[in-house]
Amino acid sequence: MKDQASLPLDRAEDRPDLDFVPTRKAGLDRLEAFAPKAGRNYAARRNHDLPGHPHVSSLSPYIRHRVVTEAETCAAILDRFAPSTAEKFLQEVCWRTYFKGWLERRPAVWTAYRAGVERGRNRLATESGLRREWEAACKGETGIEPFDHWARELVQTGYLHNHARMWFASIWMHTLRLPWELGADFFLRHLLDGDPASNTLSWRWVAGLHTKGKTYRARASNIGKYTDGRFDAATLGHQLATDTPVPDDAPHPDPIAPPDDADWQRGVKTGLLLHDDDLHPDYLFARGLDAVATSVLTAAEGRSPFEVSGHVLSFTRALAEDACERLGKDCCTPISDVDAIAAWAQAAGLDQIVTPYAPVGPVRDRLDRLDAALDIPVIRPVRAWDQRAWPHCTAGFFKLKKKIPDLMESIPEDMVA
């Protein structure tokens, strides 16, 4: 099933001037350019969705793949600003950490989401009316001007402003009455920063499932204010839903314990396996990792049972290739097949594999299958950032928010110069 948008963005001035070069250097350059804006200017203007997205960092595609890490990002900002001045930006970085920790401790929510996507997929195959409405939404042909604009922007650029993501999700669910799982899937297939935790839980939050019963409703006045009047608010006011029913859902499962850190045996043949969720193994080398072979597992096509965007596939693969080049080692071509990774380990005569800890999502699913396919251990060390944050991701964000000063103290442990 394909859902590519068929129309260009409406106005030349609305075409975002974004160029996400898939290298660590490009991510660091973007961080350096943004850092001076991360203080009060960011706090005042971050909610404005304007062409070119001048008031946000646009770092998320790099942070999502840990080409640039959360610790590096916060360290660069704290080199310029006091924590109180950069509070809003630091909190935004920590929201991503919170979502990852929350889902890591409730993996059944990810399993339920995937099952919901499959149910939606089956309905699309049997309900022609739903399929027409879904296709119109994915193509940006609903007649709701800002929604259609954002659908096309997402497909064409792989990016949306966070405020636009919230408005879009609200309109998808509450106005168009489409299944939320299919909307979350649409985002995950097209976003360069598509993250299983942040994406799934953000959609659940808009639906009223994350904070039970508390929905998010897109309002014409709010869209008009934060897009600087780019869309016809009068027309939009007659199109948007005023009621936001909450979908049926099971109670939140109790949180399981956060993962323990892991260490590897020294003095044996060790392979390093990078992956889409962490492509900067600085913390492993700081712990003394000496790998005789290196490979990269890519799993972007596993984000969805539908076709994943070519932008996403090419971006993640290029990031993997850049990681190999940066390491300067005999690193094989990025591999997506578990059997091929197993063959690589056997050919290299490895006694163990060390891989950055992968949270809940497609990479984790493949690593679990790799574990079952090998007769050698796959060791998954956890970053200090996650070790310090995830114990506090049990309920709402506020519990982690109180610990942000402590989390900032973990930065030296999580990164090397």
Spatial CA neighbour of 94 closest among 390, 361, 381, 358: 390
Bridge partners of 295, per DSSP, are: 273
Q: Find the radius of gyration of the CA atoms of the chain.
A: 21
Numbered residues of the known binding site: 42, 89, 92-99, 193-195
Q: Which residues of 116-145 are buried (b: 16+ CB within 10 A; e: fewer)?
A: bbeebbeebeeeeebeebbebbbbbbbebb
Residue carrying structure tokens 């070119």:
52
Residue ranges of alpha helices (H) inside 209-265 are 220-226, 233-239
How many CB atoms sit inside 10 A of residue 297's CB? 24
Burial of 340: CB neighbours in 10 Å, binned 0-12, 13-18, 19+:
middle
Closest CA to 278 of 127, 98, 109, 68: 68
CB proximity list for 366: less than 8 A, separation 6 or greater: 275, 297, 299, 302, 338
> Could you identify the residue written with the tokens 């396996």?
273
In eight-state DSSP terms, residue 83 is: T
Backbone φ, ψ for residue 159 (5° rounding): -150, 145
CA distances from 204 to 142, 181, 209, 403 (A): 23, 9, 5, 24
How far is the C-alpha of 417 from the C-alpha of 415, rounded, in Å?
7
Run of H or E residues at 274: strand 270-275
The partner residues of 273 in beta bridges, in order of sequence, read 295
- What is the tally of helices (H) and strands (E) in the chain? 21, 4
How many Cβ atoms are within 10 Å of 233's Cβ, its own excluded?
17
> 353 pairs with which residues across the strands?
271, 378
Q: Residue positions in the annotated binding site for FAD?
A: 42, 89, 92-99, 193-195
